[in-house]
Amino acid sequence: MFLTVIVIVVVSAALIAGAAWGIYGNLSAKVEGFIVALAGGALIVSAVLDLIGPATDVAPLWAVVVCVMAGATAFSVLDQFVNRKLGSDSGGGLLVAITLDGIPENLALGVALIGVGPLQVASLSGSIFLSNLPEAAGGAKAMSRNHSKAKVLGLWAVTAALLSVAALVGNLLLSGVPEAPLGLIRCVAGGAVVASLGTEVFPKAFKEDGYATGVATAIGVVFAIALGQLD
């Protein structure tokens, strides 16, 4: 449990570090876009190998497909609602989008930590960390234009705490669930992650970094595969 808490806290702390980076840092938009694309490439591998793929060994294919589509549809609908209400370029909208995306991601992280060591979830936790860092930076930077830096940092800290709780809930309450439904829960989270890549991560990366996004994405894929070899 101690190692589980450490991994969860480190991953969620990326939101606070990213917010501080966005408020006080001075990286160029191209560098931020490159990092976002790299994180997206890592999340592709994690979604397929850590969340969706294993479920095909313990559950029917049709159930896997239904759960993946359910997760993707739920995220897409919620993401569209947020963008319509708060604006696609709003820092507040990105905060809500990260929260909606982060809850299933962190539930999945908690589930993935059940009965395994930290190295076996290095790919998932590492890619979520890399994804949270630049996304929080972008959101906090936009929000700091209209709100005090302390308030913005506090909001992101609350979000990090909420996502930490989601991961702990996933780890504690789902520890006794049989492997088949556990795998399908991961598939729902995987679908949400895939949808977030298509609607939030890669469009943002391409807007900031142009065609170098393709190279950064490939680096992220290789990075996640390399992390996966640690287990």
Q: Write the pLDDT tens digit of every residue in 97-106.
A: 667 666 766 7
pLDDT for residue 108 is more than 80: no
* Average pLDDT rounded to a whole number, residues 21-41: 81
Could you please report the per-residue DSSP string of 61-102? HHHHHHHHHHHHHHHHHHHHHHHHHH-TT-HHHHHHHHHHHH
Burial class (CB in 10 A: 0-12, 13-18, 19+), 159: buried
Residue 58, C-beta contacts closer than 8 angstroms, at least 6 positions apart: 179, 180, 183
| Closest alpha carbon to 128 in 152, 153, 103 | 103
Could you read off the pLDDT of 195-207 as tens digits, one per residue? 888 887 888 889 8
pTM: 0.76
Q: How many CA atoms lie within 13 A of 158 on its CB side?
A: 8
Could you read off the pLDDT of 50-75 as tens digits, one per residue? 789 989 999 999 999 999 999 899 88
212-228 and 122-143 helices, crossing angle to 10°: 140
Alpha carbon 116 to its chain's center:
20
* Average pLDDT rounded to a whole number, residues 152-179: 82
pLDDT for residue 1 is more than 70: no
d(CA 25, CA 28): 10
Per-domain residue ranges of the chain = 2-228
Tokens standing for 212?
Answer: 């170098």
Looking at mean pLDDT, say which of 8-17, 69-78, 126-135 comes out highest. 69-78
